[in-house]
């Protein structure tokens, strides 16, 4: 009898026809869909159906019968286990096409835009070794030893790795030293009731241009005293480790970093050079993990603002430590930034002084509340929100105040499409240009930049 429907533990021969937003293969079997991690478009494989979630089957690879022309050997030896880079097995040109398809689908289906400018895509400079920050989970074993690595795909089980190909070489070297110290119990052997059992993550940040490294152990309680010998060991290494910190996060939430940090030695920030300016970057400060690609986006905004002659002032919503607003200061226009994170706000003020900039002011506050007091129709508004996009109240405010120009930098095509559908309603605004940047090669993440102008201008 020919099988027509999928049941648990079935062995099926399928062909991968698409990639979903997680980077998993979308396959078909008798008009039914089954999602299979590790497959790429064009692969034909024997797979096992594992479980059904929200009406969709998920499976695992048993063997690949026909390799796709787009398939390449992953650079990571635990690619088939780790839940991070889901596109390493796919040729980069195909990665780009898949990401552009998701962006275009969001513009057409979610934003309901029938006619929009062709997206200009800027290829990345580096396909690997681009990431300047890592937050790596840890776990204490029953014998008191530590393991450190990224989570296994779809779980909270740690995959024990010795390197990550998207991290910088220096970060991988630091990671290996930490891992070896754990494995050899050189400094950290954890008895049953030891405070060191509260360690949850290891944080490493590397400044690409100044070559500074900051290390933090994230724990549920203060353990600075117990980390002192380990910190002193790192202080003696040849690397330019400028700070060793204990970050405390006592809350049982999905938020990894806590609001309190204790410096064991050095300082709790690094200096980085970005767009020919110096920036202090703290542990809890948002800063793009791929600065070469981020500079491309900021330079495009700078170019667009420079050519916008009606602009009288720039409002930088979600201004962070000033990575967009401070480079724009060279336009000579007055700039106001709004940032809710107190650490980022404090560093932004220090970054103004460090770069001798006079025409930028920052406000500590929620964008949804602060923007209503400052936004004017003659302003050039820049928004760089988190993945959740803009609150409805902010969109309503924009439509009410009607700033002449908007630059929207987005890290999530879906929420970008949702927000554009509201901003473009009634033809108040029109899209001038759309750009996309691959800040995160080997993953399905895509950064987009949309320039909008009020239709009457």
Q: Which residues are catalytic?
A: 411
**Is 441:417 a contact under the CB 8 Å cutoff?**
no
**Is 71:89 a contact under the CB 8 Å cutoff?**
yes
| Alpha-carbon span 42 to 33, nearest angstrom | 15
DSSP string, 345-386: HHHHHHHHHHTT--SEEEEES-HHHHHHHH--TTEEEEE---
Written as six digits, the tokens of 40 are 């790429």
**Is 17:45 a contact under the CB 8 Å cutoff?**
no
Q: Which residue has the tokens 């890290």?
A: 411
Q: Give the alpha-carbon dihedral of 113, 31, 155, 390, to 10 degrees.
A: 10
63 CB-contact burial (10 Å; exposed 0-12 / middle 13-18 / buried 19+): exposed
Residues 6+ apart with CB under 8 A from 440: 289, 290, 446, 447
Query: Which DSSP category does 131 fall into?
Result: B
Outline where 89-168 has alpha helix (H): 92-105
């Amino acid at each position: 009898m020919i099988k027509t429907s999928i049941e648990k533990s079935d062995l099926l021969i399928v062909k991968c026809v698409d990639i979903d937003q997680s980077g998993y293969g979308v396959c078909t079997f008798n008009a039914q869909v089954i999602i299979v991690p590790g497959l790429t478009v064009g692969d034909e494989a024997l797979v096992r159906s594992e479980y059904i979630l929200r009406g969709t089957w998920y499976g695992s690879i048993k063997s690949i019968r026909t390799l796709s022309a787009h398939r390449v050997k992953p650079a990571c030896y635990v690619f088939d286990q780790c839940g991070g880079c889901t596109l390493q097995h796919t040729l980069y040109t195909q990665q780009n096409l898949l990401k552009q398809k998701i962006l275009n689908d969001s513009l057409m289906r979610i934003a309901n835009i029938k006619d929009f400018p062709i997206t200009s895509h800027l290829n990345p400079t580096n396909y690997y070794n681009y990431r300047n920050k890592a937050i790596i989970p840890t776990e204490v074993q029953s014998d008191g030893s530590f393991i450190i690595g990224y989570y296994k795909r779809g779980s909270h089980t740690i995959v024990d790795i010795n390197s990550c190909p998207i991290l910088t070489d220096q970060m991988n070297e630091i990671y290996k030293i930490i891992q070896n110290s754990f494995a050899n119990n050189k400094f950290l052997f954890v008895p049953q009731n030891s405070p060191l059992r509260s360690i949850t993550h290891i944080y490493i940040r590397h400044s690409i241009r100044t070559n500074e490294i900051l290390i933090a152990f994230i724990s549920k309680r203060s353990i600075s005293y117990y980390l002192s010998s380990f910190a002193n060991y790192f202080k003696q290494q040849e690397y330019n480790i400028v700070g060793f910190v204990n970050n405390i996060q006592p809350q049982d939430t999905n938020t990894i970093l806590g609001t309190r940090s204790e410096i064991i030695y050095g300082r709790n920030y690094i200096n980085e050079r970005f767009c020919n300016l110096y920036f202090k970057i703290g542990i809890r400060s948002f800063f793009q993990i791929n600065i070469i690609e981020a500079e491309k986006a900021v330079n495009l905004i700078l170019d667009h603002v420079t050519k916008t002659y009606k602009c009288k002032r720039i409002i930088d919503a979600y201004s962070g430590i000033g990575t967009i607003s401070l480079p724009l200061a060279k336009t000579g226009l007055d700039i106001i930034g709004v940032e809710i994170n107190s650490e980022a706000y404090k560093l932004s003020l220090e970054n103004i002084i460090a770069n001798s900039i006079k025409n930028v002011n920052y406000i500590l506050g929620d964008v949804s509340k602060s923007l209503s007091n400052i936004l004017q129709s003659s302003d050039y508004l820049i928004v760089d929100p988190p993945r959740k996009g803009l609150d409805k109240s902010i969109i309503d405010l924009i439509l009410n105040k009607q700033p002449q120009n908007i630059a929207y930098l987005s890290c999530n095509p879906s929420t970008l499409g949702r927000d554009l559908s509201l901003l473009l309603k009634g033809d108040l605004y029109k899209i001038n240009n759309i750009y996309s940047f691959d800040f995160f090669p080997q993953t399905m993440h895509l950064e987009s930049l949309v320039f909008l102008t009020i239709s009457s201008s």
